[in-house]
Structure 1
Amino acid sequence: MAKRIIVTGAAGFIGSNVIRALNKRQITDIIAVDNLTNGDKALNLVGLTLSDYQDKHVFYDALLKGQLGQIDTIFHEGACSSTLEQDGRYMMANNYEASKKLLHYCQQTGTRLLYASSAATYGASTCFQENATYERPLNVYGYSKLLFDQIVRQALPTLKTQIAGFRYFNVYGPREQHKGAMASVAYHNFNQFMTEGCVKLFGSYADCRAGEQMRDFIYIKDLVAAKLWFFDHPEHSGVFNLGTGKAQPFNDIALTVVNTVRNQTGLSTLSLVEIVQKGILQYIPFPEKLHGKYQCFTQADLSHFRSTGCDTVFQDVTQGVAEYSRMLYAQHQGLQTGKWEP
């Protein structure tokens, strides 16, 4: 019997990529859940095969009343993901209360829950290990994710089904175009380079030199592959980091974007020093509003993640961002010729 899957945040960046990967496995009994107030997100669902679509405002009641049939697994990607959102009541309703409803449903029915947490749970920490000692969120977004992780941890000893949370680090890749300011640095750098001939990064801040703030950047294809490994191994529950385990500076992103596009147009590869000297990479003052609320360094500790046996290989920036930039360039050229496809 075919498995019925629910994907919340289905029209979003990660949700749509999860559905795409499931479709490649010939899994099509998928109920997509989202809020399409931003209608542009619907483009992320074009070309995907679904069995139904539910607006998030009616979904939870329908699910809890048993109106959606027998559900094997819920991929819970829906959330308010803006780290700049200050409305705490809105954030907690979307990220905490909604997740609690799903957890309760899964505990009652045996449905599996694979959900999105965030590296924002670590905040000001310099150690990124799934341990309460290191969990110090800097904003209500990070706190909303941490609180649900804590509820899951409390439930783990009595679980009779798989509940696994994944603390995403900095994710980049296709289908993020609707995210605006919250889209990845790779996406913004590409568009800046194509429109302005230069890319812009934050200047120096705290102990970091210009462009040397370091993050753990993970390619969406690798993130989805890791989640599907857990989908294939229902015996593993818990809260897990999901990054590459390797921090890289934002300068690496900019350099890779610039050189990939240059190579696509037949131009030579440049060094970091050269793109700065030529004004192709420009540094802007670090925003005042982010002072004291910004993670200058993140790097996933993958010890707990790897202890499950998951052997997903993660691409570094020079590989993943290069592939993504080539994809964006092909789309850009398609737009120029009227042959763009989402």
Structure 2
Amino acid sequence: MYIVTGGAGFIGANIVAGLNARGITDILVVDNLERAEKFLNIRDLQIADFMDKREFRHHLETEFFTNMPVQAIFHEGACSDTMEYNGRYMMDNNFTYSKLLLDHAIRRGIPFIYASSAATYGASKAFEEKPENEMPLNVYGYSKLLFDQLVRRYLDQVESTVVGLRYFNVYGPREHQHKGKMASQAYQLYAQIKDHGYCELFEGTGGYANGEQSRDFISVDDVVDFNLFLADSAEPIKGVINLGTGLSRSFNAVAQAVIDTLGTGEIRYKPMPEVLLDKYQNYTCADMTHARAVSGYDKPFLSVEDGVKRYVQWLEARAAE
């Protein structure tokens, strides 16, 4: 049995799809379907069972799963809304719940791969996995950082795989059903062009020209491959590591990749709202040195041009169904 929490969400559903591609269907998906449209992310996938996250948490607390053989746990479930300001809810959902699952995995020697976030770096201009670079700007980033710190304290005592993946800007299939304002730039720009014939980016800020603010954009296909690689390892892999491409690309580059794939569209620029000016990250780029060394993963990642093209083609195919 594989367990995928947040399995009806963006990255979780893609991990389930990646397991299915290997012929694996013995999968327990854990999620919260109060937003029922998320079921669309997994309706074409094969799983063994589904469990509401509250029921799953109760079973963890009562040790219902004690004798269940589990191959690996992919913990993707979290409140990922960076604009959520209910700190009590965020900490319970992203920290306390994660502690229960970590304890379960460690005591039973189950590989545990979980979603951290580049939001742990916040205001930092350096993106290497060091405490001095970790300065989150919101309670979401803090909830992820606090759990990372807890994991680091356990690592010397752990004999099984435990890895926190600090995701940078992930884009790709299965995000469009429910992410809303949290959807990737690739999807938002695609939707704007389909609706209006053009897309909008911010005018220059922080010394960057119009649309030249940049991020480390990584395809969810690469994210899934990295997750499965970790779970497959015969030797324990341990650490809190970045997961990006190691390259920072401009929003202009993403928009142009969408336009080139669709064969239509243009880029327009708009002023950045004043409320964002002192909070906006003009640049992110994952330092992948430590991640490559710890994991042994040496495959190249998709470029923005190739990854966005693949994603837009998937969106177009779905729209034609």
TM-score by length of 2: 0.95
Q: 2:278 aligns with which of 273, 278, 292?
A: 292
User: Which amino acid counterpart does residue 310 of structure 1 have in structure 2?
Assistant: Y
Match of 2:98?
A: 99
Match of 1:242?
A: 243
CA distances 1:13-45 after superposition (whole Å, capped 9, x unpaired): 000000010111122111100000111100111
Equivalent residues in 2 for 1:1-342, closer than 5 Å: 4-68=1-65, 69-177=68-176, 178-233=178-233, 234-262=235-263, 280-307=266-293, 308-332=295-319, 334=320, 340=321
Alpha-carbon deviation of 1:80?
Answer: 0.7
- Looking at structure 2, the residues matched to 94 and 209 of structure 1 have their Cα atoms a distance apart, in angstroms, of 39
- Looking at structure 2, the residues matched to 62 and 96 of structure 1 have their Cα atoms a distance apart, in angstroms, of 17
Alpha-carbon deviation of 1:316?
Answer: 1.2
- Looking at structure 1, the residues matched to 110 and 71 of structure 2 have their Cα atoms a distance apart, in angstroms, of 5
Identity level (%): 48
Q: Relative to structure 2, which stretch is displaced further, 200-209 or 62-71?
A: 62-71
- Looking at structure 1, the residues matched to 278 and 154 of structure 2 have their Cα atoms a distance apart, in angstroms, of 33
- SS at structure 1 position matched to 2:285: coil
Q: Relative to structure 2, which stretch is displaced further, 283-292 or 43-52?
A: 283-292
Larger radius of gyration: 1
- Looking at structure 2, the residues matched to 60 and 149 of structure 1 have their Cα atoms a distance apart, in angstroms, of 20
- SS at structure 2 position matched to 1:239: strand
CA distances 1:214-244 after superposition (whole Å, capped 9, x unpaired): 1000000011111111111142111110000
Alpha-carbon deviation of 1:118?
Answer: 0.4
- Looking at structure 2, the residues matched to 145 and 317 of structure 1 have their Cα atoms a distance apart, in angstroms, of 26
Alpha-carbon deviation of 1:64?
Answer: 3.7
Alpha-carbon deviation of 1:66?
Answer: 3.5
Unaligned runs of 5+ in 2: none
- Looking at structure 1, the residues matched to 159 and 254 of structure 2 have their Cα atoms a distance apart, in angstroms, of 42
User: Which amino acid counterpart does residue 112 of structure 2 have in structure 1?
Assistant: L
Alpha-carbon deviation of 1:112?
Answer: 1.8
TM-score by length of 1: 0.90
Is the Cα contact below 8 Å between 1:139 and 1:293 reproduced in 2? no
Q: Relative to structure 2, which stretch is displaced further, 241-250 or 102-111?
A: 102-111
- Looking at structure 2, the residues matched to 312 and 95 of structure 1 have their Cα atoms a distance apart, in angstroms, of 30
User: Which amino acid counterpart does residue 247 of structure 2 have in structure 1?
Assistant: K
Alpha-carbon deviation of 1:289?
Answer: 2.8
Match of 1:337?
A: none
- SS at structure 1 position matched to 2:114: strand
User: Which amino acid counterpart does residue 260 of structure 1 have in structure 2?
Assistant: T
- SS at structure 2 position matched to 1:153: helix
CA distances 1:117-138 after superposition (whole Å, capped 9, x unpaired): 0011111111111110111111
- Looking at structure 1, the residues matched to 72 and 276 of structure 2 have their Cα atoms a distance apart, in angstroms, of 38
User: Following superposition, which runs of at least 4 residues in structure 1 exceed 6 angstroms of deviation?
Assistant: none
Alpha-carbon deviation of 1:205?
Answer: 2.1
User: Which amino acid counterpart does residue 238 of structure 1 have in structure 2?
Assistant: G
- SS at structure 1 position matched to 2:135: coil
- SS at structure 1 position matched to 2:218: strand
Is the Cα contact below 8 Å between 1:64 and 1:105 reproduced in 2? no
- Looking at structure 2, the residues matched to 107 and 113 of structure 1 have their Cα atoms a distance apart, in angstroms, of 8
- Looking at structure 2, the residues matched to 79 and 290 of structure 1 have their Cα atoms a distance apart, in angstroms, of 24
User: Which amino acid counterpart does residue 162 of structure 1 have in structure 2?
Assistant: T
Is the Cα contact below 8 Å between 1:117 and 1:165 reproduced in 2? yes
Q: Relative to structure 2, which stretch is displaced further, 290-299 or 40-49?
A: 290-299
Alpha-carbon deviation of 1:209?
Answer: 2.0
- Looking at structure 2, the residues matched to 146 and 75 of structure 1 have their Cα atoms a distance apart, in angstroms, of 18
- SS at structure 1 position matched to 2:173: coil
- Looking at structure 2, the residues matched to 93 and 64 of structure 1 have their Cα atoms a distance apart, in angstroms, of 14
The aligned length equals 316
Is the Cα contact below 8 Å between 2:246 and 2:286 reproduced in 1? yes
- Looking at structure 2, the residues matched to 284 and 293 of structure 1 have their Cα atoms a distance apart, in angstroms, of 17
User: Which amino acid counterpart does residue 290 of structure 2 have in structure 1?
Assistant: H
- SS at structure 2 position matched to 1:126: coil
Q: Relative to structure 2, which stretch is displaced further, 36-45 or 21-30?
A: 21-30
